[in-house]
Amino acid sequence: MKMTVRRQLATIAPAVLALALAGVATQPAFAFKLGMAVGGEAASNWQKPQGDVAHAIATKMGWDYVELSNNLDPAVATKNADIFIQDKVDAVIQFNGRAEVNPVLAAKYAAAHIPVVTYDIAQKGFYFVGIDNLAAGIAGGEALGKIAKDKWNCDVDLVLSSEGAGAGIVNEWRTGGMRTGLQHICPDIPKDKYVSFEGSGQVSVAAPAARDVLAAHPDAKKILVVGLNDAGVLGAVQAAEQLGRADDIIAWGQDGAFITGDNVDPHLAGSVLYFLEGYAVYAIKDVIGPIAEGKAPPMKDDAGDPASRVKPCPVSAEQAKKIPGIEERVKQLLAAPAGTTEYDLFCPKS
Amino acid sequence: MTDVATTTPETTLSRGAAFRANLPAGWGTAAVVAGAWVLLIIVSGIHRADFLSHQTVLAISFTMAIVGVLAVAQALVGISGGILDLSQPTGLIMSAAIVAWLLERNVPTAVVVVAGILVGAVWGFANATIVVVAKLNPIIVTLATNFIGGAVMFLVYQNAQAPLNSSFSAFGRGYFLGLPNIWWPMVILILVVGYFLPRTRYGRHMIAVGGNRFAAQTRGISLKKTRFAVFSIAGAITGGAGVLFACSNGPFAPTAGATFQLPVIASVILAGCSLAGGRGSIWLILLSVGFLSTVPTSLVFFGLNSNWQQVFQGMILIVAVSIDGWRARRLLK
Amino acid sequence: MTTGTSSLIVSGLDRHRLRDIATGSVTSIAVALVIVVVVGLSAIGPDFLSASNITIIGSFVAIPMLVAAFAGFALLAGVVDLSIGSMLGLSSNVCAWLMVAGWPLWAAIPVALVACLICGAINATAVVIFGADTIAATLGMLVALRGITFIISGSVGMIPAFDPNFFAFINLTAGPLPVIFLISLALIALAAIIVMRTRIGRHVQAVGGDDRAASRAGISVTGVRFVALLLSALGAGIGGVLYVGQLGSASNYTGTGLEFQVYAAMMIGGYSILRGGVGNPLGAALGLLVVAGTSNIIDVKAISPYLTNAIIGLLLLAAVLLDRLRGGDAFE
């Protein structure tokens, strides 16, 4: 056995040495190099396009582009930062769903003097590009409240909140924000009519949880649904349909994932589109582009005073009928002149 | 080299043990699970009388439907000595995605249902091929294929949905005799498979292979053929679950199957299917899935949030298998 | 049977087994690592083995390696502990929660470790005293603890707990190698010595290989397995605390999937989660390095991140297949 090991190592060692010496040396990079860490959340349909759009725009600008996935894992996000730093990228865009590790990332990137754009979740020292999730939540809640006021004069039996604790602070902003917005329009809905359940932002998790909540509130007839995203609220709507309680249920979503196309559930009254897949336009136009030209913009790392503000686009189901699905949107976005945002292209002007 | 230890009980069984040994297999587990379920219902009903309502029954039975079908497939794999099939989430969603895709192209519903089941069978067959040809452990194989399959699916699509206005989806939302449409196929499947498993030659072969594969081989049973058969049938059943899933769920991502994995394994274990193979009752799955599906609903009625569901479900599993282990030890004494 | 005869039998058995382990699966996984290095060098160039890249791989692998060093004893003893990921999550959240509440580190850490040991004791009671199936029982613990972790991490789902000294310690490097990596490596080496050279190690392997024979030879199967599960819990606890230092926080997600990362690497390295008695801590370390090295190649070459999972799955299959072809135990 020992002989075999020695023999094995003896044959491989020279090969290793040879390759090391031959060394596929990397060319010195003169082109501007952009690193992008996508969120890696498998259950959302905008994660992959978010990277694809950034890639396309970077290529158009003549830059090098490197993409990694944070895999919704804080240890992986940390490792990705190390890799980008090692790779000597000139700038980084990240979507980090595990915000708890952002301080560590900020320390690393600051030490390496690499500017970072972060989407939607603010971190001191990172350029903030994105929507104000809290404002988007409130906008959605107010839109839903207006419908409840018109139809039922705010006489609501139950307000379901489809939470997604895994999204951390973003869940607080969006779902909590929707409740706040609803309270702006319908302040007299008593507190005990607000019930939360954990939907994890997925239909397959939200539906069973909502079924149980609806069963525990058998007398609720007029029901409103808010939540972390379209999938989360759809789960509750589906639960109501399964229990035969869908006659008077109205839901308003977030992120617009399921408000477009042919298969929109009739009880989804609307959603708030962020056009997440097109964020790169904002990031590159307002931050990365100037950095590449040597004119780095002043640091703006707060959601209230962002480096680039993405405007949320609340849409009713009716309005959403005219908005194309995500694949078509990406195509049109990339064909449009540089700097055009999806908000410009698709948000109904009304 | 494992030596097949032969245990011959040298002491005669006590009267109590003899009585217990003569009852139908798995009665002990059935009694415990049924008892726990009834207790849970009573306690919840006392806490809130409106727990005992049609709404609760609907909520629980919708949850039971998919888990129950998947549990049958998992139990078949476990009983036949395949230990665990960890590739079910991928098989489920693959079948559901193809169903959704075909329906979008106006393929007739009957064809779509058959296609969904076939896709599951093919997935199971593929897994079996790796297990048999490479002689690898099914846990590792299905763990790996689940990962690979999931990653590949994610590259192909991010969200799929069966058309809302189709008769297919209407079936998924409808009821029969007061219970969801999708609940009935699950019950029929459990009754049929549970009936035929110990009563057909192939069923008995599966159980024999699970119990002691060397003895089974000596009797002339082909291990390879049994493995292929079990994984393909279990795969077909998982495909059927995919069909039910597609008709009763809205949009789903490739990862949507993951949420079923732990409840299914827990149900199978609670139904007395030992991971070592050779024993377990399919009919008991009805009880264990029912019990495990009732727990989250009860907890909501008690006002506990869903994190507590996980805590309770985990503790129930630990307690259940501890009781199971204790009884198995006492039987040996 | 006299103790003299039984110890002869045990030592006779294990000398053969020692040779197997040292020259068997550890060799093939070492070869696999060499292959990974070769592929890395040819795909990336000498930068693959640059100081910073080694630091990256080392930092990522250090804590899972430490957990594997402890959990390996449970695998060897034939009682796989699937709850290590959730225990790690519990430990980091308890530690972070106490830190935020004002406790000093030296007080918070023991509490987190004790919490894990209590869970380990519950596992051990169920599996060893009651005879519960180890996969099922530890699976139940996995689920239950994840629920408790969600509760501790609160509605925001995370507890920021950045301690600059702790962070600095975790990121200390000696040359290109992170100090925590060296510590984990030292623990692996210690575990390997225990397994290969001490009587305790032989007893653990005997218990895992054939518990009836071990019992007849006078080894306390209950005692060995109980301690093994406690060790597994301790390892998870230490890992959780270290993650608080490395990530400056704890969250409801911490530790999710760790059991897969660790056990897949250990299976690649020669352990079996269904059979005790096989495996060597060195194999675990090498397995982790193979997976981390492969991920690193994928990362640095920026191959589609979506393929990472698929490649790891293929790697797992390839590794067990290789082990089988080399003569490892076949599944019928």
Higher pLDDT, A10 or B123: B123
What is the DSSP-derived secondary structure letter of residue A301?
B
For chain B, the chains sharing at least 3 beta-carbon pairs closer than 8 angstroms are A, C
Any domain includes A202? yes
pLDDT at A1: 43
Give the residue extent of every domain in chain B.
Answer: 66-316
Q: At residue A62, does pLDDT exceed 60?
A: yes
A126 vs A302: CA distance, rounded Å: 9
- Our separate counts of H helices and E strands in chain A read 14, 12
A149: in domain: yes
Domain B66-316 maps to which CATH number in 1.10.3470, 3.55.50, 3.30.1490, 3.30.70? Answer: 1.10.3470
| Interface residue A218 vs chain B (CB under 8 A) | yes
Q: Give the range of the structural domain holding residue A140, as residue numbers without chain letter.
A: 133-273
Q: How many residues does chain C have?
A: 332
Q: Which chains touch A (3 or more CB pairs under 8 A)?
A: B, C
* CB within 8 Å: C324 and B265: no
Q: How far is A2 from chain C (nearest CA, A)?
A: 7
What integer pLDDT is reported at residue B5 of this predicted model? 37
Q: In this complex, which of A20, A38, A104 lies closest to C305 when CB atoms are compared?
A: A38
* Range scoring the smallest mean pLDDT among A11-25, A117-131, A298-312, C211-225: A11-25
Name the A residues in 112-171 with CB < 8 Å from any C CB. 165-169, 171
Does A318 map to a domain? Answer: no
Q: Which residue has the tokens 């929507």?
A: A131
Counting the structural domains of chain A, the total is 2
Task: Report helix, strand or coil for A94.
Answer: strand
Name the minimum distance, in Å, from the CA of C217 to any CA of chain A: 30
Task: Please check whether residues A230 and A284 belong to one and the same domain.
Answer: no
A47 contacts in chain B (CB < 8 Å): 158
Residue B6: what pLDDT?
Answer: 39
Long-range contacts of B98-104 (CB under 8 A, 24+ apart): B99/B162, B99/B242, B99/B243, B99/B246, B99/B247, B100/B160, B100/B161, B100/B162, B100/B163, B100/B246, B101/B160, B103/B162, B103/B163, B103/B166, B103/B168, B103/B246, B104/B163
Q: Do A198 and B297 touch (CB under 8 A)?
A: no
CB pair distance less than 8 Å for A8 and C31:
yes
Closest CB from C130, C145, C331 relative to B136? C331
Q: Quote the minimal CA–CA distance from A200 to chain C in Å.
A: 12
> Would residue A70 count as lying in a domain?
yes
Confidence at residue A3, expressed as pLDDT on a 0 to 100 scale: 47
**Cα separation, A128 vs A345, whole angstroms:** 23
pLDDT for A168 beyond 90: no
Share of chain A above pLDDT 70, in %: 91
Answer yes or no: are the C-beta atoms of B193 and B68 closer than 8 Å.
no
Give the amino acid at B16.
G
In-domain check, residue A15? no
Low-confidence ranges of chain C (pLDDT < 50): 1-14, 21-22
Residue C176 is encoded by which pair of tokens? Answer: 């290109």
Is A172 an interface residue toward B (CB < 8 Å)? no
Q: How far is A192 from chain B (nearest CA, A)?
A: 12
Residue C33 CA to residue C62 CA, distance in Å, equals: 17
Q: Whole-angstrom Cα distance, residue A281 to residue A341? A: 6
- Asked, for residue A260, whether it belongs to a domain, the answer is yes
Alpha carbon A172 to chain centroid distance?
14
Domain final position from A273, A294, A329: A273
Task: Kindly compute the dihedral angle of the four CA atoms of residues B224, B230, B231, B236, in this order, to the nearest 10 degrees.
Answer: 140
Q: Give the single-character DSSP code of A116.
A: E
CATH of the domain at A121: 3.40.50.2300
Task: For residues A265 and A225, give the distance between their C-alpha atoms in angstroms, rounded to a whole number.
Answer: 13
Does residue A140 sit in the same domain as residue A251?
yes
Rounded-to-integer distance, Cα C117 and Cα C236, Å: 9
**E strand or H helix that includes residue C105:** helix C105-124
Structure tokens, B57: 């029954």
Contacts of A263 in chain B (CB under 8 A): 161, 163-164, 251
Domain C24-325 has CATH 1.10.3470: yes
3-state secondary structure of A69: strand
Q: Work out the pLDDT band at A21, boundaries 50, 70, 90.
A: very low
- What pLDDT is recorded for position C11? 47
* Contact partners, residue A69, CB within 8 Å, separation at least 6: A37, A38, A39, A40, A76, A80, C305, C306, C308
**In Å, how far is B42's CA from the nearest CA of chain C?**
24
Q: What is the pLDDT of residue C309?
A: 75
Q: Which of A219, A252, A273 is the last residue of a domain?
A: A273
Of the candidates C306, C290, C268, which has an alpha carbon nearest to the alpha carbon of residue C38? C290
The residue of chain B with its CA nearest to that of C327 is: B135
C60 vs A16, A75, A171: nearest CB: A75
Q: Which pLDDT belongs to residue C6?
A: 44
Collect all residues of chain C within an 8 Å Cβ-Cβ radius of residue A80. 299
Q: Judge whether A11 lies within some domain.
A: no
Q: How far does CA C332 lie from the centroid of its chain?
A: 28
Separation between Cα atoms, residue B304 and residue C113, nearest integer Å:
28
B325 interfacial to chain C (CB closer than 8 Å) = yes
> Mean pLDDT in chain A?
88
Dihedral of alpha carbons B18, B19, B25, B30, sign: negative
Do residues B251 and A263 touch, judged by C-beta distance below 8 A?
Answer: yes
DSSP string for residues in A311-334: PPEEEEHHHHTTS--HHHHHHHHH
**CB-CB: which of B213, B269, B310 is closest to C136?**
B269
Of B13 and A39, the structure prediction assigns the larger pLDDT to: A39
**Average pLDDT estimate for A37-55:** 85
Do both A55 and A121 map to the same domain? yes
Spans of chain B below 70 pLDDT = 1-26, 333
Q: Is residue A52 part of a domain?
A: yes
Distance in angstroms (rounded) separating the CA atoms of residues C329 and B35: 42
Listed residue (B176, B250, B211, B259) closest to B78, CA to CA: B211
- Please state, in angstroms and rounded to a whole number, the distance separating the CA atoms of residues B267 and B316: 11
Contacts of residue A176, Cβ cutoff 8 Å, sequence gap at least 6: A134, A137
ipTM of the predicted structure?
0.86
Backbone angles phi, psi at A330, to 5 degrees: -60, -45
Q: Which residues contact B225 (CB under 8 A, 6 or more apart)?
A: none
Q: Which of A121, A129, A117 is nearest to A101 (CA)?
A: A121
Q: Which residues of A touch C41 (CB under 8 A)?
A: 16, 19-20, 23
